[in-house]
Structure formats: C-alpha cells, structure tokens
Amino acid sequence: MSRMRQDANVAEPRPLRRKNPVLRTRRPTLPPSARSRIALGLTAAAARGRLELQVCQDCDAVQYPAREACRACLSDRLVWRLQSGRGELSAETVLHAAQELFFRERLPWRIGLVHLDAGADVIAYLHEKVSAAPCRVRVEAALDRAGQAVLVAVPDQGRSDLSDDAKLREMTCDPRGRKVLVTDGKSPLGQAAVRALAAAGADLVWVGEAEPWKKAAGFEGLRALPQATIVPLDVTDSRSVRELAGEIGAKVDILVNTADCHRTSAVAARRGVEIAQLEMDINYFGLLRLAQEFAPPLKARAADGSASATAWVNVLSVFALSNYPPHGTYSASKAAALSLSQALRAELRPAGVRVINLFPGPIDDDWDQLVLPPKITPAAVAAALVEALKGSVEDVYPGEVAQDWCARYLDNPKVLERELTEEAQ
C-alpha cells in the first residue's frame, strides 16, 4: 500500500483498517432467493428503488403476497402500482433460531407484521429505529444480498437509511470504510465520481488512468485528495487490466466502471469501422476484460467483514435501452455493455455482489455538445452513483431525461424506437 502512494504529494493519509492475514476469509452466504415468477414483480420494482404491489383494476383491492387472481373479485387484471407503504406495525418478534446459514450467522434478527393502510398485511424486516408494536411505520422495498426484493419497515417520520441500521447496512453497498476502484478517473465523470466517493467516506479510491501523456482539466487536483491513488489502467489492454488486478484486485470492495468512449457517429454517415471498434473496445470489451480479471477476487471477498467486496457499478447510458441514431454506434456499444452486465450480474449474484447499472441521459460534456438540454452534469451522475451504493437498487436512471426515457421504454419500447427515429430526422 505505501509503495503506491509514494508519489502522492498529499496530507497525512487516514490510517487504513488492516485485516488479520492469518484468519480464514469468510465465504459468502445468501438469504433464501427462491421466488415464484409472479413475486418477481416486487423485485423488478425494488431494483429501481420502488415499492410496488399488485392492484386489481376491477375492484382496487391491493394484493400481497403476489398472486395470479384478485383475492377479492378473482379478476386477473392485476397491475403493479407504486405504494406509499404507510401502515401500522401489528406485531413483532426477534428470531433467535433460523434454518438458513445466512440468518444463523446474523442472529438475532427482528421482523414484524405490518398492516398497510392500503389493505394488505406484510411481513417485513424492521429497521432498528422502529419502536415496539403497535406503532406507525412506512414499508419500503429493498434488494437483499441475494438480489431479491424484501420489505423493510422504517419509522413513519423522519428519514431512516438502511445504512444506519447495523444489520440492514449489509443490504446496501455503502462506500463508507471501503476501497473503490474508478476505472477511468480522468474524464469529467470519472473525476466527479472519485470526489463523490471520497466525500462519502471511502477509505481509498484507486483512480484509473489510461494514456498518462494526455492531460485532462482538473485531474491534477485529484492528487490532493488523501484517499486517492492514481493507478495505470487501460481497459483496451488486457495486460494492463491483468496487472492492476494482480496488484489490487484482492483489495477492491467496489468497482466503478466509468471507462467510456463516446463518439457521435451514425451508421452510414461515416465510412470504416475503426471508431466503432474503439467504442466497442472500451465500452464492451473493456467491461469484459475488467470482469474476467476483477470479478473472481471480488466474489471471494463478498463476506469479508464490514468492509467486504460488495458492488460493481457500470455507467451505461439511456442510449443502451433504445438506440439514439445520431450516436448510433455508441448506442450499440452501450447496449452490448448492458447485455454483458446482465451476464456479469448473474455470475456475481451467487456471491452476493451486486451489479448496479446507471443509465444517465446525455451528459453535459464534449460529446453531447450538440444535444439539446436538459443534460445532466457529471457531478449529478456521480451523486446518483453514490446514492445508489448507499441504497439498495440495481437500475438507476439519474436525471429528467433518463427518467423520461425509462418511462417511455417501459410503456412501449417499440414506440420509443420510433420516437427516437423521428427525432433523428
């Protein structure tokens, strides 16, 4: 560790927590992850930080647990709708015995039964700030370490974060006290991410830099951050990725992949594939190289104490959902990265490591110069990134354009495709 910080001309670094190297590293266990297909609707909404329950379109009855026919009128016209989650804690218990290893390792564990104002009764985790039953609470949906939705009751008043609760913190990927690798720390977004992560309490932020001979405004300022260490990383170079993984891979808790090559080429407007190849080499193959080298050590440390390996964040783009033709080849490369990140998510889930994808709309930088506002600033994307790590979500759409794009995509992806084609003409 000290060797890498030699050239940082900085204030005295904070003392890092060290682990006893003789102790066996704990293997990750997961909460029960089996769910019926219909129940996965809860997970799909929780992935975006939303509590949604089925509501009968014929009689308005709210359903829980998820089901195939309305419990009141048998209608099958059940749709998932956002809920406030407000209700009353009817009863609670503290478990001192559990069947599954995950819970056995974490006993005692507090759960309760909440009667939602909306009319359903739900079993939920209880945030430690929730008083004894009976009391008013608000139920939220979060993702547990198996990547499935669970309900959590928090006090009705005030703000209670999962990361405030000593046990529920494990459902977050809180950067506080952790070591983070930002794969491209030089771009405006990368720099903003480094600063935001340091401000969120990361112990150490490795700042990946390719092409050290190219200057970037603001980059030198990162050297003054006590938590920052600049490391060579070129995601187009397998050797570079392998060497860095060999050096720090076993220590990375959170990997934030900001490496991005964004050009503004449509399909036929420009001859030759070499720009598209560069976009793919960074946006898609870069992710693949990083995954091959950094995913295995991340998985091995997913249960390594309170500063465990916990998350992999990809900065994608709303263009990954539906191609934006003026940036056609770029959109395709981000779509390729999205698909690959789904595969990565499947491989990391059994270890309890979460893959979080951000889908910002056009960022206020050089490559979206000609895109009309609203555009999102790199700092805003970085803030959304940190918030996602401190929460319990998988799919993040920061900013107005991203939210709008996502809503249109979920409503009807084919219609969105057409709308974007109209815009391009």
Partner 1 sequence: MARAAYDDVVLAAPVTVPYVRYSIRGAHWFLGRALARLIAAAKIPKTRIDGLAAASFTLAPDTAVGLTQHLGLTLRWLDHVPMGGASAIVSIRRAARAVQGGDAEIVACIAGDTNHTDSFRRNTAAFSQFARDAVYPYGSAGPNANFALLTAYYMRTYGARREDFGKLCVAQRNNALKNPLALFKQKLTLDQYLNARLIADPLRLYDCVMPCAGAEGFLVMPRQTAERLGLRFARLLGAVERHNAFPDDPVQYRAGWALDRDQLYAQAGVGPEEIDFVEAYDDYPVINVLQLEDLGFCGKGQGPEFIRANTFEVEGTFPLNTSGGQLSVGQAGAAGGHLGVVEAIRQLTGQTLGARVADARRGLASGFGMINYDRGICCGAVVLAAA
Partner 2 sequence: MRASRRTATPTAQAGKNPAPARDGGRTAIDLRAQLRAVVAAGGVRLVDLTQTLSPAFPPIVLPPEMGQSRPFRMEQISRYDEGGPAWYWNNLSFGEHTGTHFDAPIHWISGRDLPGNAVDTVPIGHFIAPACVIDCSAQARADADFLLTVDHLAAWEKRHGRIARGSWVLMRTDWSKRTDPVAYQNLDDTGQHTPGPDPDCVRFLVNDRDVLGFGTETIGTDAGQAAHFTPPYPCHYYMHGAGKYGLQCLCNLDLLPATGALVVAAPLKILQGSGSPLRVFAIVPARADPSRSKRRAARDPSRSAP
- Positive or negative, the Cα torsion across 417, 420, 424, 425? positive
The tokens describing 136, both together, are 């008013």
Q: Which of the listed partners (partner 1, partner 2, none) does 292 bind, with a CB threshold of 5 to 8 Å by partner kind?
A: none
232-291 residues near partner 1, rule: CB under 8 A: none
Residue 330: active-site member: yes
Cα 307 from Cα 352, distance rounded (Å): 14
Check residue 71 for interaction with partner 1 (CB under 8 A).
yes
> Catalytic residue among 334, 375, 390, 397, which?
334
Cα 257 from Cα 389, distance rounded (Å): 13
Residue 397: active-site member: no
Cα 293 from Cα 82, distance rounded (Å): 39
Cα 191 from Cα 151, distance rounded (Å): 35
CB 181 within 8 A of CB 206: yes
Check residue 36 for interaction with partner 1 (CB under 8 A).
yes
Closer Cβ to partner 1, 146 or 180, answer by number:
146
Number of amino acids touching partner 1 (CB under 8 A): 42
Helices 274-283 and 285-300 pack at an angle, to 10 degrees, of: 10
| Min CB(8)–partner 2 separation in Å | 17
Strands, E assignment, 19-146: 52-56, 62-63, 78-82, 86-95, 109-116, 121-126, 135-143
Check residue 403 for interaction with partner 2 (CB under 8 A).
no
Largest CA distance in the chain: 70
| From candidates 133, 266, 275, 379, binder to partner 1 by CB under 8 A | 133
| Min CB(62)–partner 1 separation in Å | 12
| From candidates 102, 284, 294, 409, binder to partner 1 by CB under 8 A | 102
| Min CB(222)–partner 2 separation in Å | 16
At residue 396, what is the residue type?
V
Whether residue 374 has a cis bond before it, omega within 30° of 0: yes
Check residue 64 for interaction with partner 1 (CB under 8 A).
yes
Check residue 70 for interaction with partner 1 (CB under 8 A).
no
Closer Cβ to partner 2, 18 or 239, answer by number:
239
Check residue 66 for interaction with partner 1 (CB under 8 A).
yes
Q: Using alpha carbons only, how large is the chain's radius of gyration in Å?
A: 23
Check residue 123 for interaction with partner 1 (CB under 8 A).
yes
258-277 residues near partner 2, rule: CB under 8 A: 263, 272, 274-275
Q: What is the DSSP string of 254-273?
A: EEEE---------SSSS-SS
Closer Cβ to partner 2, 187 or 317, answer by number:
187
Catalytic residues: 330, 334
Site for partner 1, rule CB under 8 A:
31-36, 39, 64-66, 71, 88, 90-100, 102-103, 108-109, 111-113, 115, 121-125, 133-134, 144, 146, 148, 150
